[in-house]
């Protein structure tokens, strides 16, 4: 891929119940104000992630202001501990105090937490005002922004309080992700691997051959990965734009992952936790005879390099013992009157669908056994050497 991709604005439609246009490219920041000119509004409220405000946020703010667009900058902390109703209420109160109106537009500029906070605030203030999502993390660009779901954490679990709210559009300048560390890039790639395992099997070879290491990911590599991952997720959303039926397969590994992420207060970041969750799910699928041992090993081969970065957190056993993971799962946001159900593979590329909702009820003892098997396998892999699974 060469430099002809720089500054060239492209777009694709995200296939959701309320379809959203995603604009993307490299170094497209200067085009943002031009896109804003297509809308009528009194003021723009730029809600910026404090982690990247000095790196990217202030520059975009000045770019917008330089086009004589009335804009207000509001900085928030992108922490899981801030992604709560209390944090959301504080944000809404501050925006109202700054005289936000029904004619205003909110721009969520940052990672997934900032995007969720901005999207949910926009849904609630005055019963709904418009907003735009500008993800700056690779996970935000390739996964969380391809959804109309907005949520904050409840007192007992991840994303328990939220709604569906579509942005006017999503804006992805791939250059922003270049300043992320390799740990976060690898964590984001796990969602692309998930898409391949549950549906888009043609992508498995791509991820098998994908090499990521410190300092090896330039913006053109990120652009290529962005296209692969967003296209694979969009294929699934096209089957179920409501995000309430078939698209639940996108939650593969997330029931376990959300529990791990919540129990560690985000010390194990989302992609790492979901990678672990998919390996646990694979243990269950193999135990029940749905997939072969070879398919289970494929999970570890694909995913182990992407959560290995943070495996030292598995040494804080009091937080994430198998028993505590199982207990935390009881608070999962997909729980129904029948209890917690799980997305499982029937085979690589196809999910189980015994009751029409692409989820399976499981015995707690089986789940606990397979979490323990996962822990045992991780221990073995660490002892045998991580390099083997990078091949």
Report the catalytic residues: 149, 251
Q: How far apart are CA 254 and CA 104, in angstroms?
A: 35
């Amino acid at each position: 891929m060469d430099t002809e991709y720089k500054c060239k604005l492209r777009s694709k439609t995200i296939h959701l119940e309320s379809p959203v246009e995603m604009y993307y490219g490299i170094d497209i920041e200067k085009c943002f104000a031009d896109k804003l000119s297509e809308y009528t509004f009194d003021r723009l409220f730029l809600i910026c992630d404090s982690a990247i405000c000095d790196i990217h946020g202030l520059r975009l703010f000045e770019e917008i202001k330089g086009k004589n667009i009335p804009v207000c900058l509001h900085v928030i902390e992108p922490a899981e501990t801030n992604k709560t109703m209390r944090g959301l209420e504080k944000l809404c109160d501050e925006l109202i105090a700054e005289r936000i109106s029904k004619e205003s537009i909110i721009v969520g500029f940052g990672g997934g937490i900032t995007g969720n906070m901005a999207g949910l605030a926009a849904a609630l203030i005055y019963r709904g005002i418009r907003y735009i999502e500008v993800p700056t993390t690779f996970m935000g660009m390739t996964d969380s922004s391809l959804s109309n779901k907005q949520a904050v954490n409840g007192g007992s679990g991840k994303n328990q309080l939220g709604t569906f709210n579509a942005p006017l559009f999503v804006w992805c300048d791939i250059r922003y992700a270049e300043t992320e560390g390799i740990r976060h890039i690898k964590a984001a790639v796990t969602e692309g691997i998930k898409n391949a395992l549950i549906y888009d099997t043609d992508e498995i070879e791509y991820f098998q051959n994908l090499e990521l290491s410190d300092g090896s990911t330039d913006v053109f590599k990120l652009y290529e990965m962005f296209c692969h991952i967003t296209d694979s997720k969009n294929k699934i959303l096209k089957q179920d734009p409501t995000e309430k039926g078939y698209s639940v397969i996108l939650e593969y590994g997330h029931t376990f992952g959300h529990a791990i992420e919540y129990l560690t207060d985000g010390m194990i970041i989302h992609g790492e936790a979901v990678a672990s969750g998919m390996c646990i799910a694979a243990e269950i699928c193999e135990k029940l005879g749905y997939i072969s041992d070879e398919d289970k090993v494929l999970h570890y081969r694909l995913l182990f390099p992407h959560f290995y970065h943070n495996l030292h957190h598995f040494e804080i056993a009091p937080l994430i013992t198998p028993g505590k993971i199982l207990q935390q799962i009881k608070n999962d946001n997909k729980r129904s009157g029948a209890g917690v159900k799980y997305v499982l593979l029937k085979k690589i590329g196809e999910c189980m669908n015994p009751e029409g909702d692409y989820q399976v009820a499981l015995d707690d003892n089986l789940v606990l056994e397979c979490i323990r098997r996962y822990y045992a396998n991780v221990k073995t892999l660490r002892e045998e050497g991580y390099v083997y699974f990078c091949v």
